[in-house]
Amino acid sequence: MLSRMLGRLGTPRLPRGTAVCSRESSHRRRRLHNKPQLLLLAALVLGVAPVAAAAPVEVIVDGDVGDAGAIRAAVEAALTRIEAAAHAAAGAGAAPLEHRLRTVRVRRAFALAAHKAASSTPGVIELRAPAILDARTTAALTHEVAHQLLWSTCPASSSDALLHELFAVWASGEAPLWLEGEPYLSLPQARELLEKNPLDSRAARRALARMVSEEREAPVAIARRLRACADGAVVPRLAVEELAAHATDDVDVLVVVQRATGELVHSRGEIERPLPFGSTLKPFVVAAARMAARPAPTLPVRATDPMWACPLRADERNLDVERALLTSCNGYFLDWATRDPDVARLGELGPLLVSYGLSALPSDMREAIGVQATLRVSARGLAQGYRALSWARPDVVALLTRNADEGTLKGRAELRGIAAKTGTVRGLGSAPDLGWLVALSDDVVVVRARAGVTPQALVDDVARVLEELPRAARTARVQTFGLLPPDEVRARCEGEGTVVGARGVERAGAVLGSLAPWTRQGAALCTGAWRVSFADDARARPYLGTFSWSPPPDDATPDDPLASPRQRRARRGADFVFATSLGHYTAGVLAAEDSGATGAARAALSRVIAHNALHCDERHQGRPLCDTTHCQTFLGTTNTSATPSELAPLSSRAFLPFSQGGAAPWRERRSLAEWRAALQQRARLEGADLRVVRVADGSVVLLVRSSDGAGEEVRELPCEPLRNTLRLPSCPVSIVVEGTVVTFEGKGAGHGLGLEVERAKGAAAAGASAEEILRAAYGPSVVGPR
């Protein structure tokens, strides 16, 4: 008999003090009217199309059961809520679900087993009397109301005991109560309990609760059958294998995000689709604990616990957090949470991940590490989360670089030295439902997810993506605003500004104000471009990328007493370091240095700019390039990125100088005292008897009296230091000393070393290629094989 098959079981243990709403009524009978307004509201909240109001349900409560008004009110509330949930589960595309329920009678039960609180047959609920509507009894009553609705809306499923019990556990909302305070139950363990115990046992009910809790929305198995009922289709019998389905059969996703800009470099598949994420949030658990100075314990390995089935060494008896993260050991994280439950909520990183699309903050460690796949995040959201993590806690990312040597990817040399984290979503069986692999290089975050595979099966794909990464996606770093006092630099984010640092996360919104105080706390990220302005210039420049605070060392400024204050500031570098993509940096420098260059001249200059961004150690003692003419002028990013041909690599490993050049004549005068001071500073030359013989090929040739005074000797000095000291437009072609005045004449602008842009334009106009222009400027080997 079906009622015996579905014999009701006592409800789970409920926490003390749980409030139960009730109301008195002097009427023996009362009709429940499912008001159209209520269903419309429920439909809008739950995201489904409104449905027509069902016929009223009469709730009859026998007088010997208990407080008739309170019991009636509980049944009515449960009917309304569960009916709305069933409509939502069926989906907007399904026909309206119509129940045939006209009367529900609640009567006293005389033959219930001691461990049961209620039971049902169609149209009748039997309740232990006298019924006191505490939390336990209310949960049991709600469970039976769910059966009543399913019988009436889907009579074709009346003989499916498993479906009925699953629907009642889900629709009643009792599932969390079966799991609260109990040891973690994995899905394979839940399946074993369900297969070995009767459906009316506590063990089976707990197993169903675990399966229901795997999906925050309606379980897929329920939704499919409700939709079939609504459409009048055949309702297949529910099999255990269908439970806890993750609906990931068609997932095949790739996301590549630039770490500095957050831009999407490459994507494939449904990158915004929320998915269960497996173990991929474990690094955030560790990072959040370190942010909050919550020490992670060293824990004993519990080899008999299935949750501790981790790829550990045979001699490992205790596990620290670093080894636990590398081996992705679920048992460690679950045991850690028993000592410090709050660590599972991801600290200050939790709200940030929610802003990137995590469906909710984890309520416990099971959700945080994905062994209970209630929460969801998209591949793109996960990539943005790892981007923020790489700036906030580089120590955690550095730890993940050991994965290919001693972690879950041990032996996969393709990713050696690459920070990587695996994740696996499993269903009732041992086979994976979904595999995840996250990899971070210095330039990008790669997120790969595919249905039905382990993360190891994704290694080749990810390694190939990293190997074939477009050069434009490389990261370029530049010291910015070194000529200004840091407090005069102001920033505004075109999207949402966030500052992530070792000790926390600050959501700055759209306006940071002064940039310095924020970057002293951490890296300043923006979901769009920054707009930067200065005290003496209100016009905002765009900067697409990330700002951080990194003052030069105290000895960064060369000892040059003849240098102007501006020159000294430029040579010192800057307190701010800006990171962007190589493509955006190159386009930005090109716009500042010579936006009018086209064709082969533009390509040649762009290749030099990009090369220098990656070969700049000599300019600032190993620090990034500056944004002044001491290095390459950079005044912010543009709305374009350099093309692949404009970023083609060069063979040199040195910084390659370039200048504007040109043929425009100029004449400058300096005092004889300034000329002698420059010579003394740059060449240790003294005395009045100095004659210029010639200026050519970047050198000044002088005739000076020999040290013994017996004759004269020729000295050749590099022109560029003298030009800088005297602040001349370019190296002169003529130097004439007349009394106390020295006259310098020359052509064009810049130091004249390496590539001259104006000359390159002329050569391009005459038909020269970018390679020919570069060879003429730097020699034949500069575009040869490296």
Q: Read off the DSSP letter of residue 306.
A: G
Q: Read off the DSSP letter of residue 749.
A: E
User: 264-268 and 252-258: which strand pairing?
Assistant: antiparallel
> Element (H or E) spanning 557, and its range?
none
Task: Say what the pLDDT of residue 22 is.
Answer: 30
Task: Say what the pLDDT of residue 20 is.
Answer: 29
Alpha-carbon span 397 to 438, nearest angstrom: 11
Alpha-carbon span 454 to 331, nearest angstrom: 20
* Nearest to 386, CA basis, from 456, 446, 304: 446
- Could you count the other beta carbons within 10 Å of the beta carbon of residue 371? 21
Task: Say what the pLDDT of residue 710 is.
Answer: 66
Beta strands in 165-293 (DSSP E): 252-258, 264-268
The answer, as to whether pTM is greater than 0.85, is no
- Could you count the other beta carbons within 10 Å of the beta carbon of residue 44? 11
Q: At what angle do helices 161-171 and 68-90 cross, to 10 degrees?
A: 110
CA distances 575 to 485, 547, 556, 578, Å, are: 9, 10, 12, 10
Which residues of the chain are modeled with pLDDT < 70?
1-55, 92-94, 510-511, 536-538, 556-564, 682-690, 693, 705-710, 784-786
Contacts by residues 704-708 (CB-CB < 8 Å, ≥ 24 positions apart): none
Q: At what angle do helices 770-778 and 599-614 cross, to 10 degrees?
A: 50
